Amino acid sequence: MTKYAIDPELTPWLAMIPEVDLSDMAVVRAQRSEMQHLIPPVVVPDGIEIREVTIRGRDGYDIRAKVYTPTGLDGLRPGFVYIHGGGFVMGDIEMMEQGAVDIAAGAGAVVVSPDYRLAPEHPFPAGLEDCYATLEWLAANAKELGIDPDRIAVGGGSAGGGLSAGVALLARDRSGPAICFQVLEIPELDDRLETESMREFVDTPLWNRPAAEYSWKYYLSGTPETLGLQYAAPSRAEDLSGLPPAYVSVCEFDPLRDEGIIYAQRLLQAGVSTELHHYRGTFHGSGLVATAEVSKRMASDVMDAIRRALS
């Protein structure tokens, strides 16, 4: 029995969650099927067209991406760069595909999701640059995609939330494509691992301090200071002014909880309109238990925020 006061609808699932041990990445990659069984099959409603594209990255790398297009809609649609999670070292488009489908269907947005490079084979800045190149591609092809260039958002969960925050910072500092909204769900933002929740939650389900330590070790391996750690770990950014409005969500029993709350507070203090949600009784990734009422509320809250921001 867990020592944490986890929501009763979530507790039966704890026994089915495999232990995430990032000390051996070969084992982690081999466990993909164990993780996949936790994720319900993707449900694609009628009216969503899916196709693969190849995006040329800034360093010449060809990025595989998927485009999710709502059909039968009049006028220009919003655009959304959806970035999957996985601690910078795991995951792919298919594993997290339901999120992209839901945004396309629920917000009527053209969603582009990149299969960005993963650490440790490809440490920072490779994955972040792939995500930023995807934003540039979406903006450059807005007319062909039927996208309103004034309604482009970026978002994702966990490492995808951290990468989304990094993309927003890069777009501001490089005078890149305008972003109207950033969605940072349970984001991984701070490599310093100094918050109270990061110190306390060493054995929480699915994600904990030991996993976070390895995640950042792999992602930042060989990273020189000149590359700008504030883009890898957005919590390090000293100036958060001029960033797009944000939606930030955190889970109660998640080592990433406090860094998400602090980042949201700092965005507000910098004059960035920000909506912050904390969900009682949840743990990192508990939204995978889609039938739980708290998970339904989490999904409804973020979709409502996306619709409002992109309307």
* pLDDT digit string, tens, across residues 116-172: 999 999 999 999 999 999 999 999 999 999 999 999 999 999 999 999 999 999 999
Residues facing residue 46 across a β-bridge: none
Q: For residue 53, is pLDDT > 70?
A: yes
Q: For residue 10, is pLDDT > 90?
A: yes
Active-site annotation holds for 284: yes
Average the pLDDT over 206-229 and give the result: 87
Quote the pTM value: 0.96
Q: What is the pLDDT at residue 18?
A: 78
Task: Name the DSSP letter for residue 12.
Answer: G
The dihedral region occupied by 71, where left means phi > 0, alpha psi between -120 and 50, and beta the remainder, is beta
Cα 100 to Cα 81: distance, rounded to the nearest angstrom: 9
Q: What is the pLDDT at residue 73?
A: 82
The active-site residue, picked from 164, 254, 258, 286, is 254
Task: Name the DSSP letter for residue 71.
Answer: -
Residue with tokens 């500092």: 173
Other Cβ atoms within 10 Å of 115 Cβ, number: 18
Active-site annotation holds for 158: yes
The active-site residue, picked from 191, 197, 284, 286, is 284
Cα 8 to Cα 258: distance, rounded to the nearest angstrom: 23
47: which 2 tokens?
Answer: 């009216």
Q: For residue 222, is pLDDT > 90?
A: no
Q: What is the pLDDT at residue 225?
A: 61
C-alpha distances (whole Å) from 227 to each of 2, 61, 144, 165 are 41, 19, 33, 16
What order of strands is seen across the sheet that includes strand 48-56?
A: 48-56, 62-70, 110-114, 77-83, 147-157, 181-185, 246-253, 274-283
Residue spans of alpha helices (H) in 119-208: 126-140, 142-145, 159-173, 196-200
Q: b/e for 189-227, b at 16 or more Cβ within 10 A?
A: bbbeeebebbeebeebbbbbbebbbbbbbbbbeebeeee
Average the pLDDT over 172-199 and give the result: 98
Name the band, by pLDDT with cuts 50, 70 and 90, for residue 16.
confident
Name the 3-class secondary structure at 122: coil
Residues facing residue 62 across a β-bridge: 56
Residue spans of alpha helices (H) in the chain: 25-30, 32-36, 97-107, 126-140, 142-145, 159-173, 196-200, 209-219, 229-232, 257-269, 293-310
Cα 207 to Cα 66: distance, rounded to the nearest angstrom: 27
Under a CB-based contact definition with an 8 Å cutoff, are residues 156 and 84 in contact?
A: yes
Dihedral angle computed from the Cα positions of residues 240, 261, 179 and 119, in that order, rounded to the nearest 10 degrees? 90
Cα 58 to Cα 307: distance, rounded to the nearest angstrom: 31
Per the model's pLDDT, the better-predicted residue between 31 and 190 turns out to be: 190
Residue spans of alpha helices (H) in 176-292: 196-200, 209-219, 229-232, 257-269
Active-site annotation holds for 254: yes
Name the band, by pLDDT with cuts 50, 70 and 90, for residue 27.
confident
* Dihedral sign, Cα of residue 285, residue 214, residue 220, residue 67: negative
The active-site residue, picked from 113, 158, 215, 235, is 158
53: which 2 tokens?
Answer: 């594209």
Cα 255 to Cα 188: distance, rounded to the nearest angstrom: 9
Mean pLDDT, all residues of the chain = 94
Q: What is the pLDDT at residue 1?
A: 42
